[in-house]
Amino acid sequence: MKLIRFVSDKQIKPGIEIADSRYDLSAHFHDFDQHFFENNGIVALQKLIDEQLAALPVISNEVPLYNPIARPSKIVCVGLNYTDHAKEVGAPIPKEPVIFIKSNSAYSGPHDDIIIPKDSQKTDWECELAIVIGKKASYVNEEDIPDYIAGYILHNDISERSFMFERNGTWDKGKGCDSFAPMGPYMVTADEMPDISKLHIWVSVNGKLMQNGTTADMIFSPNYLISYITQFMTLYPGDVVSTGSPAGSGAGFKPPVFLKPGDVVEAGIDGLGTQRQMVKAYAE
């Protein structure tokens, strides 16, 4: 199943996409939020589809899509998790995962504008496979992680490199700016993404392919990452874990290439759809 959230009558509503058709679920579910996932919402949704699909209201494929999960309690990200990316930025291969938190206020939709922050010099892109947590997870063994995964989402981990590395402190300054976590267009449930080990990941800027990688180059597997993170914090239903980005970020080019107003960023991952964003300058 592909879970979507769409805008209708100035409201964000839950829906589903099946075989290129979209259906309105707002009469049956309030939203795709923590309550939905922790109360076996996916099971209930599958039952609804099996029994009442023909009766569900059909919505146009032209209706704008929003981010597919209602605001998660946290977005946990992994840095330097691809061999080729670590090499391109001159970083050593991590012995343990590098994790950081991306602010909820960065969360945006798959086609929302990317806003270059005030005083930004080095706004960059990073397309990533992200995982939605299906139930509360604390100190979970790696072999048990599949039971905790609700589904997968495309995430463009926008970053401001000068904020990250030249302004002291942690990476969070350059990771949590408004509009810096566009996700979607949909969440694909785990049963429809059985093999995530060789997914193609790409980004183009103004039609030029910049990032062209594969999840096969990950240093730490997604299941290991989630298990590792649960040793340090509890993950709640609806939380998002973003698993890192392959080579091809702007910082890796020589000379580096960074986003500027007017640029068009497109990103995609096998099975998870595509995003398209306009880049705009911060406005008071």
pLDDT single digits (tens) 7-60: 988 899 999 999 989 999 999 999 999 999 999 999 999 999 999 999 999 999
Same domain (yes/no): 113, 182 = yes
Top pLDDT among 93 and 15 is at 15
Q: How far apart are CA 26 and CA 23, in angstroms?
A: 9
Same domain (yes/no): 54, 90 = no
Same domain (yes/no): 108, 51 = no
pLDDT single digits (tens) 102-112: 999 999 999 99
Q: Quick count: other Cβ atoms within 10 Å of Cβ 55?
A: 9
Same domain (yes/no): 214, 139 = yes
Q: Give the model's pLDDT for residue 169.
A: 81
pLDDT single digits (tens) 191-246: 999 899 999 999 999 999 999 999 999 999 999 999 999 999 999 999 999 999 99
Residues spanned by the domain of 110: 75-281
Question: How much is the mean pLDDT over the chain?
Answer: 95
Kindly state the average pLDDT of the residues 58-85. Answer: 94
Nearest CA to 3 out of 39, 53, 45 is that of 45
- The rounded Cα 52 to chain-centroid distance in angstroms is 30
Residue 62 Cα distances to 5, 13, 271, angstroms: 13, 15, 20
Same domain (yes/no): 24, 164 = no
Nearest CA to 276 out of 205, 212, 211, 208 is that of 205
Which helix (DSSP H) or strand (DSSP E) does residue 212 occupy? strand 208-214
Q: How many domains does the chain have?
A: 2
Q: Check pLDDT > 90 for residue 91.
A: no
Q: Which structure tokens are listed for 94?
A: 């991590």
Same domain (yes/no): 46, 83 = no
